[in-house]
């Protein structure tokens, strides 16, 4: 078919036009045999979609995830049949469970070949169905427009998440009517079609807040996804309540805000922040599932504490705690409604002393932190790295971390100076190799922000090949590798849980700076803590991709802010 003839479209061309209609600007993906028609359509049609060729389908999904998190727009990734479909799945699971809108498109063998044992056959529909919010394999080309619309509708409404479209090879060549190419512009961003809470629930929640003695707000990722930061700040300030967060909830308030206590729980929490949660008589979960990490495996709230729960997903209300009031709805609308209810109650509202409690807890925490942050010990202490980052990075930096060594230190001690999504990590499923790829997606989505990605050396080995992708696009991302020649999280766990019986967690030392240099990255290696600041400044200010290989203290020897390893 002639791509210039507006009266004719094949299935692959219709897919491109439908993505274009939904304002898609970037697609991250990897080519394969079943993708030939789609790539040909991308090549021949006139559009403004940039396709980013990756070196691994997992990376494509992580890039789409990072892009979605910083833009509030659906991220799009694609891959071929067989291995491509299985490789793209880990990223879709992460996005779905973390409530970020990502569309995964996997091309497939021809429908005409189903059941004939062709190469790369896999039941994509069955594989994707339990792990995505919505999923279908398209079996007729004229279904493409409405299935794409349904995918964007599912991604962006209610609790946002990941969806999957399978696009068989022969369907890509079948005709599609051009007049069915259209989109609802509301589904080009999320949350779309926000749902307001029940007014009675709002009134009851406001009354409960005013009846407490020591309340605390605990925010998850839902506050930032909804864009409810300003309403949260207004509520916390007017009632002088402390605001704690999960790791995913970082950015709900600027961490320099007087009401912001910081991260609580078993990862990134400290004794000082935990005490305020444990002592509270009213815990207000906002956009937070109250899962195992934030509550230290449900150690707090304590029995007898009252619980309020705000969330866009009614399934999380009361899942782990008896809830006095559940407020179901978009967090921005819900918090605005609570503030309106408090306005009606008048201005003579009690203060709960949150700012003073937060200041005391943070002083105690950072007094201990500075002892290690100022240490000249070798290998370099992770606290020294975090402290140096705070001195070097601009206020609007976007920082991405793998879930290993760097994450608990960053979450406990780095003070994000702005609210919003400036810290990204994959907290739902915690796969290694995330940050190297997701950071590139974040840079494409927010190129004006300095992007820094942190990882352990175990994580580096998962997706090092994507350094070629980064160099190809000359993305000025700075990578920080915490090198200690071990899968540190597991080794530290073997120290505590297995009486130091270390087994199969160590690997050989790698010169990561040399590896990065071979890809064309400007790379540095740091062993002396006194050289760390100057090196980070050079890396951050360079106008292309950089990597700093930091010889860091092993986790099993460290004072990591992980609750089960402390005290």
More confident residue, 429 or 393: 393
What are 518's two structure tokens? 């071979």
The whole-angstrom distance between residue 247's C-alpha and the CA centroid of its chain comes to 10
Quote the CA–CA distance of 21 and 71 in Å, as a whole number. Answer: 18
Check: CB of residue 48 under 8 Å from CB of residue 25: yes
pLDDT for 358 equals: 97
Quote the CA–CA distance of 280 and 305 in Å, as a whole number. Answer: 7
Helices (H), 105-228: 124-128, 144-156, 199-210, 222-226
pLDDT for 437 equals: 98
Q: Where are the domains of the chain?
A: 9-188, 199-357, 374-565
β-strands 243-245, 306-311 pairing: unpaired
Check: CB of residue 410 under 8 Å from CB of residue 386: yes
- Residue 410's SS3 state is helix
User: Is 50 exceeded by the pLDDT of residue 1?
Assistant: no
β-strands 546-551, 398-401 pairing: unpaired
Judging by beta carbons within 10 Å of its beta carbon (0-12, 13-18, 19+), is residue 530 exposed, middle or buried?
exposed
pLDDT digits (tens, 9 = 90+) for 222-254: 999 999 999 999 999 999 999 999 999 999 999
CATH, range 374-565: 3.40.50.970
pLDDT for 550 equals: 98
Other Cβ atoms within 10 Å of 121 Cβ, number: 15
Half-sphere exposure of 320 (CA within 13 A, CB side): 19
- Residue in this structure with the two tokens 């999904």, named with its chain if needed: 61
- Residue 272's SS3 state is helix
Check: CB of residue 191 under 8 Å from CB of residue 222: no
Determine if the peptide bond prior to 439 is cis (ω within 30°). no
User: Is 80 exceeded by the pLDDT of residue 556?
Assistant: yes
Q: Which CATH class is domain 199-357?
A: alpha beta
Quote the CA–CA distance of 144 and 132 in Å, as a whole number. Answer: 19
For all residues of the chain together, what is the average pLDDT? 95
**Cα-Cα-Cα-Cα dihedral sign, residues 521, 522, 525, 530:** negative
Query: What is the value of pTM for the model shown?
Result: 0.96
Confidence of residue 402 (pLDDT cuts 50, 70, 90): very high
Question: How much of the chain exceeds pLDDT 90, in percent?
Answer: 91
- Residue in this structure with the two tokens 């820094």, named with its chain if needed: 452
Q: Is 23 left (phi over 0), alpha (psi -120 to 50) or beta?
A: left
Judging by beta carbons within 10 Å of its beta carbon (0-12, 13-18, 19+), is residue 268 exposed, middle or buried?
buried
pLDDT digits (tens, 9 = 90+) for 494-505: 998 999 999 999
Partnered with residue 137 across adjacent β-strands are 166
Confidence of residue 564 (pLDDT cuts 50, 70, 90): confident
**Cα-Cα-Cα-Cα dihedral sign, residues 418, 424, 425, 426:** positive
Q: Which of 443, 380, 428, 429 is nearest to 406 (CA)?
A: 380
| 130: DSSP letter | G
DSSP calls for 291-360: -TTTTTTTT-SPTT-EEEEEES-GGGTTSSS--SEEEES-HHHHHHHHHHHHHHT-S-PPP--HHHHHHH
User: Is 80 exceeded by the pLDDT of residue 417?
Assistant: yes
pLDDT digits (tens, 9 = 90+) for 188-223: 999 999 999 999 999 999 999 999 999 999 999 999
DSSP calls for 446-470: -TTS-EEEEEEHHHHHHHGGGHHHH
Confidence of residue 7 (pLDDT cuts 50, 70, 90): confident
Quote the CA–CA distance of 333 and 199 in Å, as a whole number. Answer: 11
374-565: same fold as 9-188?
yes
pLDDT digits (tens, 9 = 90+) for 80-114: 999 999 999 999 999 999 999 999 999 999 999 99
- Residue in this structure with the two tokens 């790295």, named with its chain if needed: 385
Quote the CA–CA distance of 377 and 385 in Å, as a whole number. Answer: 12
Length of the chain: 567
β-strands 9-10, 175-176 pairing: antiparallel
CA angle 274, 275, 276 (to 5 degrees): 90
Helices (H), 45-174: 57-71, 83-98, 124-128, 144-156
Tell me the C-alpha to C-alpha distance, in Å, between residue 192 and each of 159, 187, 300, 303, 378.
Answer: 10, 6, 33, 37, 50
The whole-angstrom distance between residue 381's C-alpha and the CA centroid of its chain comes to 26
Confidence of residue 263 (pLDDT cuts 50, 70, 90): very high
User: Is 50 exceeded by the pLDDT of residue 261?
Assistant: yes
Q: Which CATH number fits domain 9-188: 3.40.50.1820, 3.40.50.970, 1.10.260.40, 3.30.465.10?
A: 3.40.50.970
């Amino acid at each position: 078919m002639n791509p210039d003839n507006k009266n004719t479209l094949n299935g692959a061309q219709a897919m491109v036009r439908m993505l274009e209609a939904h304002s898609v600007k970037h697609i991250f993906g990897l080519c394969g045999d079943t993708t030939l028609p789609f790539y040909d359509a991308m090549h021949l049609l006139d559009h403004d979609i940039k396709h980013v060729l990756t070196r691994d389908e997992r990376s494509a999904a992580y890039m789409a995830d990072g892009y979605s998190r910083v833009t509030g727009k659906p991220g799009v990734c694609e891959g071929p049949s067989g291995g491509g479909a299985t490789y793209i799945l880990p990223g879709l699971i992460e996005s779905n469970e973390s409530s970020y809108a990502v569309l995964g498109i996997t091309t497939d063998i021809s429908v005409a070949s189903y059941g004939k044992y062709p190469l790369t056959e896999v039941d994509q529909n069955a594989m994707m169905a339990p792990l995505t919010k919505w999923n279908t394999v398209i079996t007729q080309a004229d279904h493409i427009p409405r299935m794409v619309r349904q995918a964007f509708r599912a991604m962006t409404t209610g609790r946002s998440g990941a969806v999957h479209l399978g696009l068989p090879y022969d369907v890509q060549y079948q005709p599609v009517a051009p007049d069915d190419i259209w989109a609802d512009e509301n589904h080009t961003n999320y949350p779309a079609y926000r749902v307001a809470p029940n007014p009675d629930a709002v009134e009851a929640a406001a009354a409960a807040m005013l009846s407490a003695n020591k309340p605390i707000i605990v925010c998850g990722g839902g506050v930032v996804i909804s864009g409810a930061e300003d309403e949260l700040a207004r509520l916390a300030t007017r009632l002088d309540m402390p605001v704690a967060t999960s790791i995913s909830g970082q950015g709900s308030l600027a961490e320099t805000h007087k009401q912001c206590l910081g991260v609580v729980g078993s990862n990134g929490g400290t004794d000082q922040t935990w005490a305020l949660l444990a002592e509270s008589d009213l815990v207000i979960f906002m956009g937070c599932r109250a899962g195992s990490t934030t509550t230290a495996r449900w150690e707090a709230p304590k029995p007898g504490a009252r619980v309020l729960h705000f969330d866009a997903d009614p399934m999380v209300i009361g899942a782990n705690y008896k809830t006095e009031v559940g407020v179901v709805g978009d967090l921005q609308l819900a918090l605005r409604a609570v503030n309106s209810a408090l306005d009606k109650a008048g201005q003579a509202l009690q203060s709960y002393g949150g700012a003073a409690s937060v200041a005391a807890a943070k002083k105690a925490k950072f007094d201990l932190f500075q002892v290690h942050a100022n240490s000249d010990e070798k290998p370099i202490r992770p606290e020294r790295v975090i402290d140096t980052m705070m001195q070097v990075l601009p206020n609007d930096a976007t920082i991405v971390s793998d879930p290993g060594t760097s994450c608990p230190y960053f979450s406990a001690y780095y003070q994000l100076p702005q609210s919003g999504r400036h810290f990204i990590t994959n907290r739902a499923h915690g796969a290694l190799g995330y940050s190297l790829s997701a950071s590139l997606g974040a840079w494409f989505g927010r190129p004006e922000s300095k992007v820094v990605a942190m990882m352990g050396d175990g994580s580096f080995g998962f997706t090092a090949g994507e350094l070629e992708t980064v160099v190809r696009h000359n993305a000025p991302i700075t990578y920080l590798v915490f090198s200690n020649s071990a899968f540190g999280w597991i080794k530290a766990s073997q120290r505590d849980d297995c009486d130091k019986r270390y087994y199969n967690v160590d690997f050989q030392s790698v010169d990561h700076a040399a590896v990065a240099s071979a890809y064309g990255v400007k790379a540095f290696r740091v062993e002396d803590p006194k050289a760390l600041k100057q090196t980070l400044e050079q890396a951050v200010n360079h106008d292309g991709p950089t990597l700093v290989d930091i010889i860091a203290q092993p986790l099993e020897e460290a004072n990591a802010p992980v609750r089960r390893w402390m005290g």
